[in-house]
Amino acid sequence: MLIAITGGVGSGKSAVMDIIKSFDANILSADEINDELMKKQEYITKIDKMFKGVVKDGAIDRLQLGKRVFYDAKAIKQLNELAHPIIIEEIKKRVKSFDGAVFIEVPLLVETNMQDMFDKIWLVKAGNELRIKRILMRDSVSEEYAKKIMASQVTDKIRMQYATDIIENNGDENTLYNRVEELYKSLYD
């Protein structure tokens, strides 16, 4: 069984994944695969050709790349067309090495049209103001930039059309833990 953990930036997907990890579950992260990709020379070369000035000292400057793509719809489309097929193939490859349920954090599930790959889709939701606050704390970026990132993603209203379960993450850690544990146990009932 494949379970997607999805939601907008700052919704708390990583917190949900940490809870799932504490259950000794099989987990994967599209973001971690992307991080690995960003260190591969062949990929760095492609990024350098596409987005002049974002590769510095042989490494991709993530903040510069983000500023380039989140302010330009054409640029983000280009980046997604390069990265997403590679990430999707890597997820498919890695899933084969697991027995049982696999929980996969996929921030851009709907944007990449991956929803049909999954048996269940858990949507992590939080209010926009709280999400912005989390992004500012985590990434040390401006509020304007945080809003640009959010605007580049589909809305929760669209994500909800595909979600099999909702995880509200506007409360405390115990509330979040209890909801995730409830959903996790329901898989095995």
pLDDT number for residue 45 = 95
For residues 19, 135, 158, 89, the Cα torsion angle rounded to the nearest 10 degrees is -70
Percent of the chain with pLDDT over 90: 95
Residue pair 5/114 in contact (Cβ under 8 Å)? The answer is: no
The predicted model gives 78-94 an average pLDDT of 95
Whether 80 shows a pLDDT value over 90: the answer reads yes
Whether 25 shows a pLDDT value over 90: the answer reads yes
* φ and ψ at residue 83, rounded to 5 degrees: -80, -45
Q: Which domains, ranges and CATH numbers included, belong to the chain?
A: 2-186 (3.40.50.300)
Residue pair 170/124 in contact (Cβ under 8 Å)? The answer is: no
Tell me the pLDDT band of 189, cut-offs 50, 70 and 90: confident
Residue-wise pLDDT tens digits, 97-131: 999 999 999 999 999 999 999 999 999 999 999 99
pLDDT number for residue 29 = 96
Residue type, 176: L
Residue-wise pLDDT tens digits, 43-72: 999 999 999 999 999 999 999 999 899 889
Strands (E), 87-155: 102-105, 120-125
pLDDT number for residue 188 = 87
Residue pair 146/136 in contact (Cβ under 8 Å)? The answer is: yes
Whether 150 shows a pLDDT value over 90: the answer reads yes
Q: Report the mean per-residue pLDDT for the chain.
A: 95
Residue type, 138: R
pTM above 0.85, yes or no: yes
